[in-house]
């Protein structure tokens, strides 16, 4: 245990929230309205994956849908209005020091009476040759971010879930044609499959079921084609393309927790109890990073609110440490 007199020069906060996506921003709205001083630490984009989603149609209260960036901006403005501070940087380690938790960050050490882990998830990679080599030079994971670069071009979209179908349809705004490569069958919702059929019927999208992606091939520093295998027959196939968009799911942003006392499940998501608390007293988790999360923005905001209320209860149950 480190004595307080040894660390009084370390910036200290009531709550540090790691991440600034929907769960984190909602939690910050609740904590700051309760006059709990709150700092959010975000290494990437405020709003998380919601901010790079073109249109969100299933968030309650928006009958016509809402652009992901707009929702993210609104959440951030609301949190900041109540006094939340959002700082760009990365947390690399959480250390339990009893009444305080010390965070090692790219801005130096900080400490907090309570911590909320809300780092969310990131796009999964398919791990084929060419994917890493041509990242951002023809291989992408965000249609909203990079789709406009492919106006009147051919594209390959890889995946068969909700995000792949939704983003493929979005990319038809720019691309002349899209080949959708699905390893097995379409697993998107019935509503999205119905919408997809319209694009298939008008020739904008061709769906290739049972097609495994083998390699992304480039020439002169740009992507030119994708090769694959028809899983049922073993037939080799290839698709000429100007770019590739990969949408095959999400993986947890929990690398910084690998050597910590925070326990993770077998995939790497954070384990919590029914109160959103991890195995460390005073360290909570909410949103897509939490084991058992539904990976929906609406549920992430709900978890953020729940975590904030539990943090308040935790802080109220413990007298504020006296510093020398």
pLDDT of amino acid 2 = 43
The reported pLDDT for the residue numbered 4 is 45
| In the chain, where the domains are located | 4-122+250-316, 139-246
For the chain, give the longest Cα–Cα distance: 73
Can you give the pLDDT at residue 136?
82
Q: Let me know if the fold of 4-122+250-316 is the same as that of 139-246.
A: yes
Helices (H), the chain: 22-33, 48-51, 68-81, 143-146, 162-171, 190-201, 297-316
Q: How far is CA 158 from CA 127, 191, 216, 241, 249, in A?
A: 12, 20, 11, 12, 11
Q: What is the DSSP letter of 230?
A: E
Q: How far apart are CA 159 and CA 247, in angstroms?
A: 5
Hey, what's the torsion of the CAs at 229, 189, 197, 233, to 10 degrees?
A: 20
* 22-33 helix and 68-81 helix, angle to the nearest 10 degrees: 20
CATH of domain 139-246: 3.50.50.60
Give the residue ranges of DSSP H helices in 182-294: 190-201
Query: Which parts of the chain register pLDDT below 50?
Result: 1-5, 7, 324
Token representation of residue 318:
């413990």
- Spatial separation of the C-alpha atoms in residues 226 and 218, rounded to whole Å: 9
Q: What is the 3-state secondary structure (H, E, C) of 11-65?
A: CEEEEEEECCCHHHHHHHHHHHHCCCCEEEEECCCCCHHHHCCCEECCCCCCCCC
Q: Report the interhelical angle of 297-316 vs 22-33 (nearest 10°).
A: 40
Total residues found in the chain within this entry: 324
Q: Which residue has the tokens 């990679």?
A: 125
Token duo for residue 249:
């799911």
Q: Which residues contact 38 (CB under 8 A, 6 or more apart)?
A: 13, 14, 15, 16, 17, 28, 31, 32, 83, 84, 85
* Residue 79, both tokens: 């949190």
Q: What pLDDT, in 10s, does the model give residues 18-69?
A: 999 999 999 999 999 999 999 999 998 899 888 878 788 889 999 999 998 9
Position 324 scores a pLDDT of 47
Which among 19, 3, 14, 9 has a CA at the least distance from the CA of 285?
Answer: 19
Pairing mode of beta strands 243-246, 91-97 = unpaired
pLDDT attached to residue 323: 53
Q: Identify the pLDDT of residue 122.
A: 87
Q: Which of 304, 276, 313, 320 is nearest to 76 (CA)?
A: 304
Contact call for residues 188 and 162 (beta carbons, < 8 A): yes
Q: Assign domain 4-122+250-316 to its CATH architecture.
A: 3-Layer(bba) Sandwich (3.50)
* Rg value, the chain, Cα: 22
Q: SS3 for 236?
A: strand
**pLDDT confidence of residue 8:** 59
């Amino acid at each position: 245990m480190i004595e307080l007199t040894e660390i009084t020069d370390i910036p200290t906060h009531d709550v540090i929230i790691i991440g600034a996506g929907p769960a984190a921003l909602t939690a910050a709205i609740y904590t700051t309205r309760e006059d709990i001083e709150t700092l959010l630490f975000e290494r990437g984009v405020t709003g998380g994956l919601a901010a790079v989603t073109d249109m969100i149609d299933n968030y309650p209260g928006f009958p016509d849908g809402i652009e992901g960036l707009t929702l993210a901006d609104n959440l951030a403005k609301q949190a900041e209005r109540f006094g939340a501070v959002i700082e760009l940087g990365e947390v690399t380690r959480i250390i339990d020091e009893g009444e305080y938790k010390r965070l090692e960050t790219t801005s130096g050490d900080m400490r907090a009476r309570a911590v909320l882990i809300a780092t969310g998830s990131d796009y999964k990679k398919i791990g084929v040759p060419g994917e890493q080599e041509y990242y951002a030079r023809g291989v992408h994971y965000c249609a909203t971010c990079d789709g406009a670069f492919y106006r009147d071009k051919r594209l390959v979209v890889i995946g068969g879930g909700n995000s792949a179908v939704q983003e493929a349809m979005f990319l038809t705004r720019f691309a002349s044609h899209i080949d959708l490569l699905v390893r097995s069958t379409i697993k998107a919702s019935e509503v999205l499959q119905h919408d997809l059929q319209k694009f298939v019927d008008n020739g904008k999208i061709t769906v290739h079921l049972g097609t495994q992606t083998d390699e992304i091939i480039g020439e002169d520093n740009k992507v030119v084609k994708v090769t694959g295998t028809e899983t049922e027959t073993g037939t080799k196939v290839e698709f000429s393309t100007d770019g590739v968009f990969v949408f095959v799911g999400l993986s947890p942003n929990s690398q910084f927790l690998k050597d910590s006392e925070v326990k993770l499940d077998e995939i790497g998501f954070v384990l919590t109890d029914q109160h959103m608390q991890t195995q460390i007293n005073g360290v909570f988790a909410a949103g897509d990073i939490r084991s058992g999360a539904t990976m929906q923005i609406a549920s992430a905001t709900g978890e953020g609110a729940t975590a904030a209320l539990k943090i308040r209860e935790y802080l109220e149950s413990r007298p504020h440490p006296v510093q020398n």
